[in-house]
Each structure stands twice: as C-alpha cells, then as structure tokens.
Amino acid sequence: MSNKVLIIGAGGVGRVVAYKCAQHRDVFGDIMLASRTKKKCDAIADSIYQAYGGRKIKTARLDADQVEQTIALLKKFQPDLVINVALPYQDLPIMDACLEMGVNYMDTANYEPKDVAKFEYSWQWAYQERYEKKGIMALLGCGFDPGVTSVYTAYAKKHYFDELHELDIVDANAGSHGKAFATNFNPEINIREVTQRGKYWENGQWIETEPHEIWKDIDYPEIGPKRSYLIFHEELESLVKHFPTLKRARFWMTFSEQYLTHLRVIQNIGMAGIEPVRFKGLDIVPLEFLKAVLPKPEELGENYTGFTSIGNRIKGIKDGKEATYYVWNNCSHVDAYRETGTQAVSYTTGVPAMIGARMILTGNWSGKGVFNVEQLNPDPFMERLNLDGLPWHEKHNLDLGM
Ligand code: NDP
C-alpha cells in the first residue's frame, strides 16, 4: 500500500504525528509535512531521517489560512488524506481546500474563530452534506481529548453498557517541566480554553459555572490525589449528542496552584486579551505577544518528568443493573521524549492522530460526510493504542470517586 498523507502544522503535535507515521512505512508510504515556517518542517524531517535509518519525508511551506495555497499543494502532492495539526483557526480553510480537491480530512481540535474565544462543532458539522456529496470523509477531534476519550466512550457503550448515564473525563498532568509557567500545547489556544467559563451537561441542559469554580481532589492511578477543575471541553458537545442517554457529562483537568496564580495575573494585567492593542504604531494582540515570550511547548520535553493520566469514569446500566467502568492511559513524559523528542501532551495527541489516519487509510474507518470519532468502530482503534505507545487499562464495578 502506498498511501500519501499531508500533515499540516509542525508544532509539538505535528512532530509526533510525523514520527509515528514514519514508523509505519507499510501504511504511510509517502509523507509530506507542511507548515507556516518551513524550517521547522525541515528540522523534524532531518531528525526522522536520523532516527529511522534514512526515512525521508517531504516538506513544504504553507499558509493554510490561504485556501488557494492549500489547494495548490494538494494538486501537487495528491495526498489521500490531510492530517490537520495546525491550529483550530485553520480547520475551516483546510476543510474548504479538501472539499474542493476531494481529499479526506482529519484534525484534533474543533474550529475556533480567531476573534472570539469560543469553540463548538457547529461550524464543522455544517460541512456534512457537502462532504457526503463529494464522497469524502472528515474525521473531527482525533487527538486524546477529544479523540481517545471519545473512543473510550464508544468502546464502553459497545461492550459494557446498555445505557450510559454518567460520564466524567478526568485529565491529569502530573508532570514537571521545571519552568515557572508554561503551557503544554499552543499557549494561545490553551489559555483561551482554560480561561473560559466552565460548562457541563446535566439532565438535558448545559449548566455554566465561573471559570474554575468547581473542583475536586481526584485520585489518579499511580499518581494519587490531584486537584482537578471542572472545565468545558469540546468532546462533551459531541458525546451528549451521540450518547443521548447521558444524564450527566463533565470534564475535569488538573492545574497546579502555581499555574493558576500565573494565569490569574496574566488575565488581571490584560495579557490574555484577544483584542488588538495599538503599540508603537502596530496592532498587537496581547495573547499572541504572550505566546511569543512563553516557553515553546515543543521545547519543554527535555527535562519533563512524571506522567499524564487521562481516562473516562462511567456509570450506567447493564442487564438492568447499575455498572461502573474506568478506562485510562498513563503516559510518561520521559518515554515520550525518548521516542519522539517531545513531551507527553504532544505525544498523547499525535499518536491517536496517526492511529485515526491509519484507520482511514486501511479502510477500518470509512464513511462519507463529517464524523466525530465516537461514531466509528472503537475496536480496531483500541487495539492500535496498545501497539502504538498508549496502552490502556480498565476496571469494572469500582467506586468511581466522583
Ligand atoms: P503548536 O503551536 O506547537 O503548533 C502549531 C503549528 O501550526 C505550528 O507549527 C504553526 O506554525 C502551524 N501553523 C499555525 N498557523 C498556520 C497556518 N496558517 N498555516 C500553516 N501552519 C500554521 O501547537 P500544538 O502542536 O501544540 O497543537 C496542534 C493542534 O493540536 C492544535 O490545534 C491543538 O489545539 C491540538 N491539540 C489537541 C489535543 C487533543 O487531545 N485533542 C491536545 C493538544 C493539542 P509556526 O511554527 O509558524 O507558528
């Protein structure tokens, strides 16, 4: 099989996707990595060449905000699939280019307009009919969360529950990078996400909270209790749609006191703002400027120790009786760095993106239109997680501690 994939975005996640695709020459025959800054693509291509016995991947410069540029690259390279791991702002222009050229599309984060800190699936679900008519597939949100957490939910429903009632996605980063403040993925996207109001699903409606208003000390396997805050996360929107028996769905993420203190200061002094500020004759967006001075997520890996732990805690009904289930993965920052030169947050996103791409290219996942990952067969994906670096563990009939 000689499939061609175009990876767009050469940040921490793009690096992992390129590495992991390069490991599987049988599925990913020809790989191109394109991004706004070509030298980042070249650096990744060079390190893959060194790491994998002369495996060559192609590189290109691309501003994916410009639909015409992406169309031109698609015409030239003729990929079977585009893996979009640039920023959420690029989702729609890349989807437009794929639609125009009849190329399958996937990403790891839903669209967000640059000038409003708001993420939801409506913009991308609106492509359903056009993708269906064109006979191509768009796979949305195939990182870890969303992505693996969505597959975990589908797997639980398929094998262990007749009805899902309560879902808690619990996401801990119990790692240490030694910096006073840094974000684990793109700082601009990360800060926009975590400073939003909280939101969860209960009894058929969304309940909003102040940012970080609700918290809990959650016990994570092999890590112990960590303070975890209820935040809104995009997979909640698609999961309550696709699993309508859910009475409650929440997402929890750990933040250290130090991280939250820095975040409060950043907000209080206006550095999280997304409105341009006139400075010395230039329009500067404070959050974009902040990104330029913060540590780069892809450079955090070298001294990162500890683990991430992300999983789903589920309560529901099986054969008329209440059942509980916990499925999770712990990922080591050190091991992720050793394998791909980057930390576990990029690793846990990039590996599932490669597996999703594999599912499409091998025909395990197929369909015409726009799909969230939980709509597809979870089994082959779960199998690959164990083989490709993100092994999972499960427990049944336990106290979920939620
Ligand atoms: P980075 O900021 O490290 O990388 C983003 C890359 O995209 C950079 O190389 C950047 O180029 C490139 N890029 C930005 N704008 C354009 C453009 N207009 N055209 C072409 N390339 C562009 O981010 P991450 O690697 O940390 O994250 C990548 C994606 O993964 C994000 O969408 C993020 O939301 C998502 N994510 C998903 C997770 C999940 O579990 N589902 C978890 C973590 C992240 P340049 O180098 O020039 O800036």
Question: What's the CA gap between 39 and 307, in Å, rounded?
Answer: 30
| Residue 4, domain member (yes or no) | no
Confidence bin at 315 (pLDDT 50/70/90): very high
Query: How many distinct structural domains can be found in the chain?
Result: 1
| Residue 323, domain member (yes or no) | yes
For ligand 1, whether the C-beta of 378 sits within 6 Å is no
| Residue 352, domain member (yes or no) | no
**Is the pLDDT reported for residue 377 higher than 80?**
yes
**Is the pLDDT reported for residue 363 higher than 90?**
yes
pLDDT (tens digit per residue) in 160-202: 999 999 999 999 999 999 999 999 888 888 888 888 899 999 9
Q: How far, in Å, from the CA of 109 to the mean position of ligand 1?
A: 10
| Residue 319, domain member (yes or no) | yes
| Residue 296, domain member (yes or no) | yes
pLDDT mean over 135-164: 98
For ligand 1, atom 3: residue with the closest CA: 11
**Is the pLDDT reported for residue 310 higher than 80?**
yes
Name the residue of 37, 44, 108, 149 to mutate for ligand 1: max ligand atoms within 8 A of Cβ. Answer: 108
Whichever domain contains 280, its CATH number is 3.30.360.10
| Residue 359, domain member (yes or no) | no
Tokens representing residue 272 in the block = 């999280």
Question: What's the CA gap between 137 and 139, in Å, rounded?
Answer: 6
Pick from 113-122, 148-157, 242-251: least confident: 113-122
Q: Whose CA is closest to 234, among 314, 117, 325?
A: 117
Confidence bin at 2 (pLDDT 50/70/90): confident
For ligand 1, whether the C-beta of 37 sits within 6 Å is yes
For ligand 1, whether the C-beta of 87 sits within 6 Å is yes
| Residue 187, domain member (yes or no) | yes
Confidence bin at 1 (pLDDT 50/70/90): low
For ligand 1, whether the C-beta of 62 sits within 6 Å is yes
Measured in whole angstroms, the distance separating CA 173 from the mean position of its chain's CA atoms is 15
Name the residue of 16, 62, 87 to mutate for ligand 1: max ligand atoms within 8 A of Cβ. Answer: 87
Q: Report the predicted TM-score, pTM, of the whole model to 2 decimal places.
A: 0.95
Residue 370 phi, psi (nearest 5)? -110, 125
Domain range for 317: 149-340+391-396
SS (H, E, C) the chain: CCCEEEEECCCHHHHHHHHHHHCCCCCCCEEEEEECCHHHHHHHHHHHHHHCCCCCCEEEECCCCCHHHHHHHHHHHCCCEEEECCCHHHHHHHHHHHHHHCCEEEECCCCCCCCCCCCCCHHHHCCHHHHHHHCCEEEECCECCCEHHHHHHHHHHHHHCCEEEEEEEEEEEEEECCCCCCCCCCHHHHHHHHCCCEEEEECCEEEEECCCCCEEEEEECCCEEEEEEECCCCHHHHHHHHCCCCCEEEEEEECCHHHHHHHHHHHHCCCCCCCCEEECCEEECHHHHHHHHCCCHHHCHHHCEEEEEEEEEEEEEECCEEEEEEEEEEEEHHHHHHHHCCCHHHHHHHHHHHHHHHHHHCCCCCCCEEEEHHHCCHHHHHHHHHHCCCCCEEEECCCCCC
pLDDT (tens digit per residue) in 31-83: 999 999 999 999 999 999 999 999 999 999 999 999 999 999 999 999 999 99
For ligand 1, whether the C-beta of 92 sits within 6 Å is no
**Is the pLDDT reported for residue 287 higher than 70?**
yes
Classify the C-alpha dihedral 183-184-187-188 as positive or negative. negative
pLDDT (tens digit per residue) in 83-131: 999 999 999 999 999 999 999 999 999 999 988 777 899 999 999 999 9
pLDDT, residue 375, reads 98
| Residue 94, domain member (yes or no) | no
